[in-house]
Amino acid sequence: MTALSPAAGSRGPRSRYRSLAFTGAGCGVLLLVVAASVALGSRNLTVHQVAQGLAHTGPADVVTLVREVRIPRTAAGLVAGAALGAAGVLIQAVTRNPLGDPGLLGVNSGSGFAVTLGVILTGTTGVTGTVWSAFAGAAAVTALIVVTVAATGNRHPGRLVLVGVALGAVFSGIQAALTLLDPETLDTMRTWSAGTLNGIPPDATAFLALFVAAGLLAARTVAKGLDLTAMGEDLATGLGTRTHLTRAVAVVAITLLAGSATALAGPLSFLGLMVPHLLRPLVGPGTRRMLPGALIAGPVLLLTADVTARLVVRPGELPVGVVTAFLGAPLLILLLRSERRRSR
């Protein structure tokens, strides 16, 4: 397959201009999506009503809807979207595979399985109580993926996707069996396991935002090393990169990011796959270039999916995970077809 090989050191004026243009346009789009997330849903609000709700001067139902439902939901989407977008960039860089995605490769499924097991064993269902289980599951599967790739030396996209799908199916199957054996757990986990941003307490979002920030900091420290490693192990080592340490820190970062997002919003698939492919033609290849863009593109995609999930079956709503899968599955098929043509 074709490796993800960024020109690690080439950031000329044109690429900087392109990055700045994307950042400006992306922030504008993000503001529009945030506004739509606050205003649209089973009950649409006008700009005046949103302002009343924010200022606590409108009717009680409007204030409650804006301040206690829509704002916390939007904040959760911003944090989870940024985490999944950055995790997608990292996992593609670590595996050197353009089909890498925390959901597609089973990382989110492993995290979801660990959360379900933790709920059964401890009875704790709150986000802050399940986060450590989510981290453990994400770490185990991420390490397994990296070890599998290193042991086989085969980074063909189709092969890695098959491994990830198999892992995800195994963990999802065990998770389903566990929830069926415990009806109370099934009832608690049903909505969460489909992916949702609804009903997440603001303090839980703030708590997990700290872990996301730590994951982003770790990602930033190894971004240059990952770019150099993509150009070749020997070259990276010759330039002073400690490749094993770089991968280990990247795995920690993926664990923090994917685990936090899963604990917060459930096991969402395909978003981490979409973000790097959206960014690559806009800001150029390379982990250092795409990581900042992922903090914009991830929330934009997740909040757009969440608003769509609220509107398509009003007054009810779809799980946001259904919408991200609906958007991501065609992209996966197109990418697989592209890689197949390239390998001929």
Q: Give residue 231's pLDDT.
A: 75
Q: Give residue 275's pLDDT.
A: 92
DSSP structure class, residue 65: I
- What tokens were used for 65? 């809807």
Cα pseudo-dihedral 271, 272, 278, 282, rounded to 10: 140
DSSP codes, 173-227:
HHHHHHHHH-HHHHHHHHHHHH---TT--HHHHHHHHHHHHHHHHHHHHHHHHHH
What does pTM read for this prediction? 0.86
Whole-number Å distance between alpha carbons of 275 and 291: 10
Amino acid at 316: G
Give Cα separations from 142 to 12, 108, 159, 340 (angstroms). 34, 10, 16, 25
Q: Give residue 5's pLDDT.
A: 46
| CATH code assigned to 72-343 | 1.10.3470.10
Q: Is 69 exposed, middle or buried (0-12, 13-18, 19+ CB in 10 A)?
A: middle
Whole-number Å distance between alpha carbons of 87 and 8: 20
Q: Which residues of the chain have pLDDT under 50?
A: 1-3, 5-10
Q: Give residue 232's pLDDT.
A: 72
Q: Give residue 168's pLDDT.
A: 81
Best CA proximity match to 83, nearest among 271, 337, 307, 330: 271
Q: Give residue 11's pLDDT.
A: 53
Q: Give residue 315's pLDDT.
A: 84
